Amino acid sequence: MPSIIDRLDQLRADTPGTAQVAHFNHAGSSLPPTPVLQTVIDHLNLEATIGGYEAAALANEHIEASYASIARMLNATVDEIAHIENATRAWDMGAYSIPFQPGDRVLITPWEYSSNLIGILHMQKRFGLEIEVIPNDQFGQIDLDGLEEALRKPTSAVFITHMPTNGGLVQPAAEIGALIRRHQPDAWYVLDACQTAGQMPLNVQEIGCDILSVTSRKYLRGPRGAGFLYMRKGRIAETNPPLLDLHAAELTSSTDYMIRPDARRFENWESYVAGRLGLGAAVDYAMAVGLEAIWARVQEQGERLRNKLLTIDGVRIHDTGVVRGGIVTYSLAGVPSEQLRAELSARKINTSLSNIYRTYLHSDLEAIGTYIRASVHYITSDDEIDQLVAATAEVAR
């Protein structure tokens, strides 16, 4: 298969947005390729033409195929996949279904995303959970020695954000999983893969997680309003979904019901069908490009951007970790990041802002305040990186 650089012109031609903007907000919402866009539009047109129920019935085969595509991407099985409307709700449906007991002990890291942290604190209020924060090591990622020591005591769950929203680091998910299985094989391993799905290969058998949550709109380049949940088959029967409806469960009498035995117990009957189809198309597109090739290209472009930004006086890169991906965070001395982002936007360069409130426990960020998050993808060209760097340098002057 030709390399991404050999296919770059075609991949960018597949992406209408590249002709309009230099997009460095793939970690927020990426630019969808035409096959994804057309899949969503075609189904919406079908709904408008023949009706929503009727369109869903005609699309059923393709909807079912989307489960198989997601399962193949994760090295999972179809009955371990549930379509959920976004990563946060997927995380909620999985985490809130864990059968916690009063006083259970859970482990988290300073990089836990704020929505997840709110959920964990909410469960703490309900169950009296004991929460322990495992510190970072000298590279800014989870201290594996500290995690191993913490796992020597009874532990009910370990919550990990695979790639934090405001830094380039990738947590060593497989090593974390191996430690959990060695010391606390019954502990739940919950992995937020919101930023890594579509950016790098994910093999749930190698990682060893029980729950994994993903959104469509970020590195998978799918539509907004779609995402999915992976729940390990051997643990599904232990779960108690926080919400049920006539899709997730079936009435067996006027006074009782039976919950579905597969991961679809976490779904709703009503859903964004066009979004599910678009997500399936996005997964197929990413796998056709090649996730190993995507990951190599994203890392290359991420480092290219960091190195070029560091040639500008006053730029500080805030990324940490041994392995770093496509999220690049930086600030410019003497220039508020809000102003810098506005200047970039005026030049049709898309970035986003981030701050401590996204990863509230990571106190090192408090002194930084707000900073620029510029996220690259495999379709990010060298010319676009040069545009961003030149615009930042211009503001610096």
Q: What percent of the chain has pLDDT over 90?
A: 93
Residues 103 and 232 in one domain: yes
Residues 284 and 378 both lie in one domain: no
Q: What is the DSSP letter of 242?
A: S
Instruction: For residue range 9-39, list pLDDT tens digits in order.
Output: 999 999 999 999 999 999 999 999 999 999 9
pLDDT tens series, the chain, 397 aa: 678 999 999 999 999 999 999 999 999 999 999 999 999 999 999 999 999 999 999 999 999 999 999 999 999 999 999 999 999 999 999 999 999 999 999 999 999 999 999 999 999 999 999 999 999 999 999 999 999 999 999 999 999 999 998 888 999 999 999 999 999 999 999 999 999 999 999 999 999 999 999 999 999 999 999 999 999 999 999 999 999 999 999 999 999 999 999 999 999 999 999 999 999 999 999 999 999 999 999 999 999 999 999 999 999 999 999 999 999 999 999 999 999 999 999 999 999 998 766 565 665 545 557 899 999 999 999 999 999 999 999 999 8
Domain count, the chain: 2
Indicate whether 76 and 214 sit together in one domain.
yes
Are 163 and 207 in a shared domain?
Answer: yes
Whether 254 and 348 map to the same domain: the answer is no
Domain of 367, CATH number, reads 3.90.1150.10
Question: Do residue 9 and residue 150 come from a single domain?
Answer: no
Extract the runs of DSSP E, i.e. beta strands, from the chain: 22-23, 81-84, 105-108, 130-133, 157-161, 188-192, 211-215, 227-231, 249-251, 257-259, 315-317, 327-332, 349-350, 352-354, 371-375
Q: How many residues does the chain have?
A: 397
Q: pLDDT of 146-200, one tens digit each?
A: 999 999 999 999 999 999 988 889 999 999 999 999 999 999 999 999 999 999 9
Say what the pLDDT of residue 2 is: 77
Residue whose token pair is 């620029």: 372
Same-domain pairing of 252 and 377: no
Contact criterion met (CB below 8 Å) for 194 and 215: yes
Shared-domain flag, residues 215 and 80: yes
CA-CA distance, 357 to 170, in Å (whole number)?
20
On whether both 221 and 121 belong to a single domain, the answer is yes
Angle between helices 273-289 and 4-13 (to 10 degrees): 150
Boundary (domain end) residue, out of 249, 271, 288: 288
pLDDT for 397 equals 85
Domain boundary among 288, 305, 325: 288
Q: CA distances (Å), 146 to each of 62, 85, 156, 359, in order?
A: 45, 35, 17, 20
Same domain, 187 and 301: no
Q: Are residues 261 and 392 in the same domain?
A: no
Q: Which of 147, 215, 212, 214 is nearest to 181 (CA)?
A: 147
Domain of 91, CATH number, reads 3.40.640.10
Of 288, 323, 355, the last residue of a domain is 288
71 shares its domain with 208:
yes
What range defines the domain where residue 116 resides?
Answer: 36-288
Dihedral over Cα of 355, 172, 328, 194: its sign: negative
